[in-house]
Amino acid sequence: MIDQRRRGFLKGVLGAGVATFALGSGIVPLRVEAATAPDASDWPEKAFGTPGVDETIAELYGMEATESDQITMDLPTIAQNGAVVPVTVETALPNVTGIALLVAKNPNALAAYFDIPEGTMPFVSNRLKMAETTDVVAVVISDGKAYKATQNVKVTVGGCGG
């Protein structure tokens, strides 16, 4: 018992010594995990906290979206389980820089948005939650303009609350 405490004490002292040495000599151990983690500091808190489709598009992209038939949405018309609704969006529009997925009747409409750098295809597949029968809106940013397409999903079991 006493021995164990002594060991703990010794370890502590040694650890502190090493840390002091590292700081003193300017060698600060790097946290490798933190270095590879993405930066979430510019995650748009406000856009993700806005109800209503048009309001959210305005908040996120600062413009209105016009209807487009160049956006292909692939999602079930009837979802048995609102907690997992697969949504796929693809578009023939040129120079796409972003795609956003919105669920009209969720407490906050914005579900996800994606940055599409040059060389990446304007395609995304994701699974979303929706509380009730609702419109799902896909927004595509092409040539700096916003376009949208809408499809209704009938939800038989809600995704929130179960």
Partner 1 sequence: MASSIRVRAVENNGVTSLKALVRHPMDSGFVKDSAGNVIPAHFIKVLTISHNGKNVFVANWGPAVSKDPFLECRFKGAKKGDELTISWIDNEGESDSTTATIA
Where does this chain bind partner 1 (CB under 8 A)?
Answer: 33-34, 36-40, 43-44, 48, 83-86, 88, 103, 106-108, 110-117, 119-121, 123-130, 159-162
CA–CA separation, 105 and 37 (whole Å): 32
**Distance in Å, CB of 3 to partner 1, minimum:** 32
CB 84 within 8 A of CB 97: no
Q: Which CB, 136 or 149, lies closer to partner 1?
A: 136
Tracing tokens 């419109």 back to the chain, one arrives at: 135
How far lies 65's CA from each of 53, 82, 129, in Å?
A: 10, 26, 23
**Distance in Å, CB of 102 to partner 1, minimum:** 9
**Distance in Å, CB of 5 to partner 1, minimum:** 30
CA–CA separation, 162 and 152 (whole Å): 21
Of 67, 47, 44, give the one whose Cα is nearest residue 57: 47
Q: Which CB, 36 or 66, lies closer to partner 1?
A: 36
**Distance in Å, CB of 117 to partner 1, minimum:** 6
**Distance in Å, CB of 9 to partner 1, minimum:** 30
Q: Which CB, 30 or 121, lies closer to partner 1?
A: 121
3-state secondary structure of 53: helix
Q: Which CB, 43 or 144, lies closer to partner 1?
A: 43
CB 128 within 8 A of CB 55: no
Residues in the chain: 162
Q: Which CB, 28 or 43, lies closer to partner 1?
A: 43
